[in-house]
Amino acid sequence: MTDNTVNGSNTNIKPGGTSFVRSLLNAWSWLFLILILGFFEIYAQTQTGSTLLFRIYNLQAISIAASQILLLGLGLTLVIVAGHIDLSIAFSTGFAAVVMALIVRTAGADADWVTVILAMLAGLGAAALVGAVNGWLVAILNVPSFIGTLGTYGIARGAALIVAGGATVSIRNDHTRAFGNGDILGLPVPLVVAAVLTLVCHYLLKHTRFGAHTYALGANRASVERAGVNVKKHLILLFILSAFTAGIGGLIYTSRFSAGAANAGEPILLYAVAAVFIGGASLTGGQGTITGTVIGAFIIAVIQFGLVFCGLPPYWQFVAVGLVIIVAVLVDQSKDRLMGGKS
């Protein structure tokens, strides 16, 4: 009879048990989303006699909140997968919002679609400029991304405030209002825009050579360089893409609220970073998916809406999201230990 016991543990059972635990850890964000949805629905049914999940208005509100987080989190996901961080996305959003609003206001309330589209392109160009500066700092000057993007966070914030004259830039234009508050086939335009960008970023990360290089860069930069990949160019493109998706968030903000504000993305920065890590991205790079970021964004949006639904003050959202971030980091560390990455 073969002895399958080593150091008091059964080796036939342990691998299976470890595999099961790893599967649970990999799926924890899905399970957590189901858990909080169930909790808030039970609360709604028992405490208010209403429903959270079976009202179109509630689902639409949650989806729009999630789409705002996603627009900042999509490009950020690629940057984090590559082993870096982009803290400047909050004011890439604000810069784009202010530039668009100024051009539309200058053109007047009767500005046509062509003018509005040109204003949007100018806003995206302003955001992309922030991303290009980030890429140059990180890729060319070898500044750590945390420090470099923290610096451009301040620069973009100041630039947006200077351009806006330190105030919110209000506009009146039917075309921008239709873009921010209209619908396509019954779905809000911001949600449709976020969905299209999500599909594009998912394809880019999972089904292209660019995505494969991004994963490899986060896992082992030296091997990517030895393979002949232009790492500096790749990093610059990643930071431009991160600023670009955040800039689209700024265009949506200006269109929805008929105003451009320098701090348009500041309240969402924590949520965007949280969504990426809740979705399974690793602090050390090489891991993460767009699907995971989508789940993370919806977890945060459900927490936001659910806490308000329960009658709690809005600032409890920060406490709840902070706790979920800590849980996400602990899960990431547990997965690393199971795979032998950390002791």
The answer to whether residue 317 is domain-embedded is yes
The answer to whether residue 288 is domain-embedded is yes
pLDDT at res. 9? 40
Residue 184's domain is classified under what CATH number? 1.10.3470
pLDDT at res. 132? 96
The answer to whether residue 22 is domain-embedded is no
Distance CA 309, CA 45 (A): 12
Task: Find the domain containing 299 and state its range.
Answer: 29-333
Taking only the tens place, the pLDDT of each residue in 250-270 is 999 999 999 999 888 888 898
Identify whether the C-beta of residue 71 lies closer than 8 Å to the C-beta of residue 253. Answer: no
Taking only the tens place, the pLDDT of each residue in 266-318 is 888 989 999 998 888 887 888 889 999 999 999 999 988 888 888 778 778 78
The answer to whether residue 24 is domain-embedded is no
pLDDT at res. 339? 61
Number of CB atoms found within 10 A of residue 289's CB: 17
The answer to whether residue 6 is domain-embedded is no
Number of CB atoms found within 10 A of residue 68's CB: 25
> What's the token pair of residue 153?
């966070």
Q: What is the pTM of this model?
A: 0.87
Number of domains in the chain: 1
The answer to whether residue 83 is domain-embedded is yes
Total count of residues recorded for the chain: 343
Mean pLDDT value across residues 26-39: 84
> What's the token pair of residue 264?
């348009």
The answer to whether residue 97 is domain-embedded is yes
Taking only the tens place, the pLDDT of each residue in 51-93 is 878 888 888 889 999 999 999 999 999 999 999 999 999 999 9
Distance CA 259, CA 251 (A): 10
> What's the token pair of residue 60?
């639409």
Report CA torsion sign: 157, 163, 165, 169.
Answer: negative
Residue corresponding to tokens 């028992």? 46
